[in-house]
């Protein structure tokens, strides 16, 4: 049966089966589990333990409203998890599959292209959600970090998270075409994302950076994912410390949608079933 003969329902069922296969493969790769899945939680544990005796962060002039360093770092590392699960993991995985001939074999099989991408997108969503739950559990149970207690902040988190996952997934597919070989994929993709995390408010207060560096970082989506997560997890008075003095959620949505479009275009232009020399 050719791929074109599959009904939409059959394509979805094949995509769901592919999600299960992708998730199993993901957790069988020890390097991926540590450097992508566990990385945000490990870094959170290091920061939270190292600065556990520090004074509260972000207190008002009267001394109220401050939070622990652990609570302050949590939203940034939630954002890092989204970027790692989508852009980094997917970009490297697809580049390696192209290099070792996996994509060529899949391209010659009856598997519909849409089912392949459903599998990739679904695996990103599943692993990102599990990664998030682990990080939140560690933060709340081990360091007593307060989680949002109202529907407004959880709804805010939900749309930022889902839009960020969509953006990261399509960017991961798009960026997978940059490395020339699977062996070079990590060396090409990881440094780019690491630099963006450092200049986007994941590990440092964004407004402490030089203005020109803030301008550069604001072009890229990582800064807006991190800011959106802060708007969901931090007290409202922390918005005054953001650039512009507000959470600026409208701009966050626009930038994430724009980068989703960029990712879709990049994926359309760069995705190939075979290597460049194949």
Q: What is the mean pLDDT of residues 29-55?
A: 92
Res. 277: pLDDT tops 60: no
Whether 202 and 117 have beta carbons less than 8 Å apart is answered as no
Q: Can you tell me the distance from the alpha carbon of 98 to that of 81, in angstroms, rounded to the nearest whole number?
A: 25
Q: Does 57 score more than 70 pLDDT?
A: yes
Domain count, the chain: 1
Residue with tokens 């994929």: 185
Interatomic CA distance for residues 153 and 231, integer angstroms: 8
Q: Is the pLDDT of residue 14 over 70?
A: yes
Share of the chain above pLDDT 70, in %: 96
CA pair distance 268, 261, nearest whole angstrom: 11
Q: What is the pTM for the complete model shown?
A: 0.93
Sign (positive or negative) of CA dihedral 274, 21, 114, 167: negative
Centre a 10 Å sphere on the Cβ of residue 137 and count the other Cβ atoms it contains. Answer: 11
- 183, pLDDT greater than 80: yes
Asked whether residue 8 is assigned to any structural domain, the reply reads yes
Confirm whether 42 is domain-assigned: yes
Tell me, yes or no, whether 258 lies in a domain: yes
Which pair of structure tokens corresponds to residue 201?
A: 């408010």
Q: Is the pLDDT of residue 3 over 70?
A: no
Per-residue model confidence (pLDDT) at position 182: 86
Torsional sign, CA 175, 181, 187, 190: positive
Higher pLDDT, 207 or 109: 207
Q: Is 200 within 8 Å of 220 (Cβ atoms)?
A: yes
DSSP 145: P
The dihedrals phi and psi of 57, each to the nearest 5 degrees, come to -100, 140
71-105 pLDDT, tens per residue?
Answer: 999 999 999 999 999 999 999 999 999 888 888 88
pLDDT at 104: 86
Closest of 82, 97, 211 to residue 158, by C-alpha: 82
Per-chain mean pLDDT for the chain: 93
Instruction: Flag whether pLDDT at 56 surpasses 60.
Output: yes
If pLDDT is split at 50, 70 and 90, which confidence band does 62 have? confident
Query: Dihedral of the CA atoms 69, 70, 71, 76 (nearest 10)?
Result: 100
The parent domain of residue 125 ranges over: 3-270
Identify the weakest region by mean pLDDT among 41-50, 68-77, 174-183, 249-258.
174-183
* Within a domain: 278: no
Q: Which residue has the tokens 């994941």?
A: 202
Can you give the pLDDT at residue 4? 56
Is a pLDDT exceeding 60 seen at residue 1?
Answer: no
- Domain membership of residue 97 (yes or no) is yes
Is 276 contained in some domain? Answer: no
């Amino acid at each position: 049966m050719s791929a074109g003969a599959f009904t939409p329902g059959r394509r979805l069922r094949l995509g769901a089966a592919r999600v299960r296969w992708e998730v199993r493969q993901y957790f069988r790769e020890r390097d991926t589990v540590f450097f992508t899945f566990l990385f945000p939680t490990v870094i959170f544990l290091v920061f939270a333990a190292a600065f556990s005796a520090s004074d509260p962060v972000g207190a008002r002039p009267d001394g109220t409203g401050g939070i622990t360093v652990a609570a302050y770092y949590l939203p940034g590392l939630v954002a890092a998890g989204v970027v790692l699960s989508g852009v980094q993991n997917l970009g490297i995985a697809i580049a390696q599959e192209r290099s070792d001939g996996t994509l060529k074999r899949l391209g010659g099989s009856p598997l519909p292209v849409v089912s392949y991408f459903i599998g990739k997108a679904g695996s990103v969503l599943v692993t990102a959600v599990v990664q998030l739950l682990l990080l939140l559990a560690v933060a709340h149970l081990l360091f007593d970090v307060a989680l949002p207690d109202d529907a407004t902040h959880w709804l805010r988190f939900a749309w930022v998270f889902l839009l960020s996952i969509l953006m990261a997934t399509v960017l991961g597919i798009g960026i997978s075409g940059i490395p020339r070989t699977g062996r070079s994929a990590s060396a090409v993709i990881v440094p780019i994302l690491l630099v963006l995390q450092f200049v986007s408010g994941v590990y440092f207060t964004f407004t402490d950076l030089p203005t020109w560096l803030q301008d550069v970082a604001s072009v890229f989506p990582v800064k807006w994912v991190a800011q959106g997560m802060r708007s969901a997890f931090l007290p409202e008075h922390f918005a005054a410390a953001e650039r512009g003095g507000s959470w600026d959620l409208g701009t966050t949505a626009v930038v994430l949608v724009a980068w989703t479009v960029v990712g879709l275009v990049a994926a359309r232009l760069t995705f190939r079933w075979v290597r460049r020399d194949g």
